[in-house]
Amino acid sequence: MKAIWNQELIAESDKTVVVEGNHYFPADSINRKFLVDSSTKSSCPWKGEASYYSLSVNGKINTDAAWCYPSPKPAAKEIQGRLAFWKGVTLEK
Protein backbone atom coordinates (compact mmCIF):
# COMPACT_ATOMS: atom_id res chain seq x y z
CA MET A 1 0.00 0.00 0.00
CA LYS A 2 1.01 3.57 -0.68
CA ALA A 3 -0.19 6.73 1.07
CA ILE A 4 0.07 9.78 -1.21
CA TRP A 5 -0.79 13.41 -0.59
CA ASN A 6 -0.06 16.51 -2.65
CA GLN A 7 1.81 14.36 -5.19
CA GLU A 8 4.30 12.97 -2.63
CA LEU A 9 4.70 9.46 -1.28
CA ILE A 10 4.09 9.69 2.46
CA ALA A 11 4.28 5.97 3.27
CA GLU A 12 4.69 2.63 1.50
CA SER A 13 4.46 -0.89 2.89
CA ASP A 14 3.19 -4.35 2.07
CA LYS A 15 2.73 -4.97 5.81
CA THR A 16 -0.14 -2.65 6.74
CA VAL A 17 -2.65 -3.75 9.35
CA VAL A 18 -6.29 -3.02 8.50
CA VAL A 19 -8.58 -2.03 11.38
CA GLU A 20 -12.06 -0.63 10.77
CA GLY A 21 -11.18 -0.11 7.10
CA ASN A 22 -8.05 1.95 7.85
CA HIS A 23 -4.58 0.83 6.79
CA TYR A 24 -2.07 1.30 9.60
CA PHE A 25 1.47 1.62 8.20
CA PRO A 26 4.54 0.46 10.13
CA ALA A 27 6.58 3.35 11.57
CA ASP A 28 9.61 2.49 9.44
CA SER A 29 7.56 2.86 6.24
CA ILE A 30 6.66 6.51 6.90
CA ASN A 31 8.56 9.39 5.34
CA ARG A 32 8.81 11.36 8.57
CA LYS A 33 10.05 14.53 6.88
CA PHE A 34 6.39 15.20 5.98
CA LEU A 35 5.04 14.80 9.55
CA VAL A 36 4.41 17.72 11.88
CA ASP A 37 3.46 17.08 15.52
CA SER A 38 -0.06 18.06 16.52
CA SER A 39 -1.55 18.53 19.97
CA THR A 40 -4.83 16.92 18.84
CA LYS A 41 -5.95 13.81 20.70
CA SER A 42 -9.04 11.65 20.45
CA SER A 43 -10.31 8.62 22.29
CA CYS A 44 -11.73 5.30 21.14
CA PRO A 45 -13.46 3.01 23.66
CA TRP A 46 -11.60 -0.11 22.49
CA LYS A 47 -8.38 1.27 20.92
CA GLY A 48 -7.48 3.95 23.46
CA GLU A 49 -6.10 7.48 22.96
CA ALA A 50 -4.99 8.56 19.49
CA SER A 51 -2.34 11.17 18.75
CA TYR A 52 -2.29 13.10 15.48
CA TYR A 53 0.18 14.50 12.97
CA SER A 54 -0.32 17.09 10.28
CA LEU A 55 1.31 16.70 6.88
CA SER A 56 3.53 19.41 5.42
CA VAL A 57 4.14 18.77 1.72
CA ASN A 58 5.33 21.20 -0.94
CA GLY A 59 4.23 24.24 1.04
CA LYS A 60 0.77 22.91 1.94
CA ILE A 61 -0.47 21.71 5.34
CA ASN A 62 -3.03 18.96 5.86
CA THR A 63 -4.00 19.36 9.51
CA ASP A 64 -4.31 16.18 11.59
CA ALA A 65 -4.22 13.96 8.49
CA ALA A 66 -2.41 11.08 10.23
CA TRP A 67 -3.00 9.39 13.55
CA CYS A 68 -1.59 6.65 15.73
CA TYR A 69 -2.19 4.91 19.02
CA PRO A 70 1.11 5.15 20.95
CA SER A 71 -0.22 2.99 23.82
CA PRO A 72 -3.30 1.17 22.52
CA LYS A 73 -5.56 -0.91 24.70
CA PRO A 74 -4.89 -4.69 24.57
CA ALA A 75 -7.60 -5.30 21.95
CA ALA A 76 -5.72 -3.01 19.51
CA LYS A 77 -2.12 -3.95 20.29
CA GLU A 78 -1.50 -4.85 16.62
CA ILE A 79 -1.59 -1.15 15.64
CA GLN A 80 0.93 0.09 18.22
CA GLY A 81 3.70 2.02 16.49
CA ARG A 82 1.70 2.36 13.25
CA LEU A 83 0.14 5.36 11.49
CA ALA A 84 -3.07 5.67 9.51
CA PHE A 85 -4.20 8.46 7.19
CA TRP A 86 -7.34 10.31 6.12
CA LYS A 87 -8.37 13.86 5.04
CA GLY A 88 -7.59 13.49 1.36
CA VAL A 89 -4.58 11.20 1.64
CA THR A 90 -4.91 8.72 -1.23
CA LEU A 91 -4.28 5.04 -0.55
CA GLU A 92 -3.41 2.82 -3.47
CA LYS A 93 -1.87 -0.59 -4.08
Q: Provide φ and ψ at 77, rounded to 5°.
A: -60, -25
Task: Give percent of the chain with pLDDT exceeding 70.
Answer: 100
Residues 13, 1 contacting (CB under 8 angstroms): yes
pTM: 0.96
**C-alpha to C-alpha distance for 9 and 16, rounded to whole angstroms:** 15
Q: Give the pLDDT confidence of 44-69 residue by residue, as tens digits.
A: 999 999 999 999 999 999 999 999 99
3.30.300.30, 3.40.350.10, 2.170.150.40, 2.70.160.11: CATH of 2-92 = 2.170.150.40
Q: Give the pLDDT confidence of 26-46 residue by residue, as tens digits.
A: 999 999 999 999 999 999 999
Domain boundaries, the chain: 2-92
HSE-CB at 11 with a 13 A cutoff on CA atoms is 27
